[in-house]
């Protein structure tokens, strides 16, 4: 019985190479190909393949996103096609059927395919589902909350992270500045920095973080420091030791 297989990759040349190699294998029935994650999810549900060759880096919905969209019993065995670094490859080695590190040759492809076929012959579907779930848990970041609970005066106020303009250290607390209001949270700057999304908040001094979307202007000061002017007119200082953060703002 032939193994029903899909190729999922956003690069046309990569798809063409994989489909050509798979068509030469007598054990394989090539059931289709997809060029993006959304189409891949629909095609997997439609064709119910036993095996997929899945590109990890795809725009909008990546390879991990494809698997996360599928229920456990919908997930086929996977050979990942990736340019990931060695650290991430360790996770593939533990949890995935196999992986192909771009660029790969015919011999490496055939090794991955043999392993996949042996894996499918040896393991029950539930074991494969558990392996893929473990891989997703290890490599996909945990979703970050979109708000922070602040306790005080016998009540709890929920502050939306997107509404925070800047954060200021205040002894054993941090002050979350939201418009004309501020909320004291018993937290260290280091801990709050870890909780806020790095692509939106940058630390500009030991005691200050700012929401990059609120920055209106930067004015150079003395000794490599900058005055950071927010849209509401607030001025805070970017200290010299945090000048590397300017690159996050697109400033060389």
- With bands split at pLDDT 50, 70 and 90, how would you rate the model's confidence at 181? very high
Mean pLDDT lowest for which of 198-212, 218-232, 237-251? 237-251
Find, among 156, 245, 147, the residue nearest to 204 by Cα: 245
pLDDT at 93 over 50: yes
Find, among 4, 53, 58, the residue nearest to 35 by Cα: 58
| CATH code, domain carrying 212 | 2.40.50.1020
- With bands split at pLDDT 50, 70 and 90, how would you rate the model's confidence at 87? very low
Same domain, 63 and 79: yes
Alpha-carbon distance of 177 to 188, in angstroms, equals 15
Same domain, 18 and 111: yes
Instruction: Give Cα separations from 41 to 50, 57, 172 (angstroms).
Output: 14, 15, 48
Which residue range(s) make up the domain with 58? 3-139
pLDDT at 24 over 80: yes
Same domain, 162 and 120: no
- Report the number of distinct structural domains present in the chain: 2
Q: What is the model's pLDDT at position 76?
A: 86
Look at the pTM and tell me if it is higher than 0.75: no
Tell me the mean pLDDT in the region 202-211.
93
Round the average pLDDT of the chain to a whole number and report it.
84
Same domain, 119 and 241: no
Mean pLDDT lowest for which of 17-21, 62-66, 204-208? 62-66
DSSP alpha helices (H): ranges in the chain? 12-23, 37-47, 63-69, 86-95, 106-122, 125-139, 189-195
Percent of the residues in the chain that have a pLDDT greater than 70, as a whole number: 83
Same domain, 181 and 99: no
**102, 117, 139: which is the final residue of a domain?**
139
pLDDT at 123 over 50: yes
**139, 157, 181: which is the final residue of a domain?**
139
User: What are the phi and psi torsion angles at 39 (to 5°)?
Assistant: -65, -35
């Amino acid at each position: 019985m032939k193994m029903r297989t899909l190729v999922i990759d956003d690069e046309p040349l990569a798809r063409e190479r994989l489909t050509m190699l798979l068509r030469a294998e007598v054990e394989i029935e090539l059931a289709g190909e997809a060029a993006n994650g959304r189409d891949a999810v629909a095609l997997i549900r439609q064709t119910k393949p036993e095996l997929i060759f899945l590109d990890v880096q795809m725009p909008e919905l990546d390879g991990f996103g494809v698997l996360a969209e599928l229920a456990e019993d919908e997930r086929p065995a996977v050979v990942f096609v990736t340019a990931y670094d060695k650290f991430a490859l360790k996770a593939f080695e533990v949890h995935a059927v196999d992986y192909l590190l771009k660029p790969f040759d015919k011999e490496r492809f055939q090794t991955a395919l043999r392993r996949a076929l042996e894996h499918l012959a040896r393991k029950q579907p539930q074991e494969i589902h558990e392996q893929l779930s473990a891989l997703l848990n290890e490599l996909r970041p945990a979703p970050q909350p979109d708000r922070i609970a602040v306790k005080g005066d016998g009540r709890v106020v929920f502050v939306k992270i997107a509404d925070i303009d800047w954060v200021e250290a205040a002894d054993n607390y941090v002050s979350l500045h939201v418009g004309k209001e501020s909320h004291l949270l018993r937290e260290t700057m280091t801990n709050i920095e870890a909780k806020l999304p790095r692509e939106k908040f940058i630390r500009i001094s030991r005691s200050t973080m700012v929401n990059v979307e609120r920055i209106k202007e930067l004015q150079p000061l003395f000794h490599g420091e900058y005055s950071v002017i927010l849209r509401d007119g607030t001025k805070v200082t970017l200290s010299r030791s945090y000048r590397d953060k300017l690159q996050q703002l697109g400033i060389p």
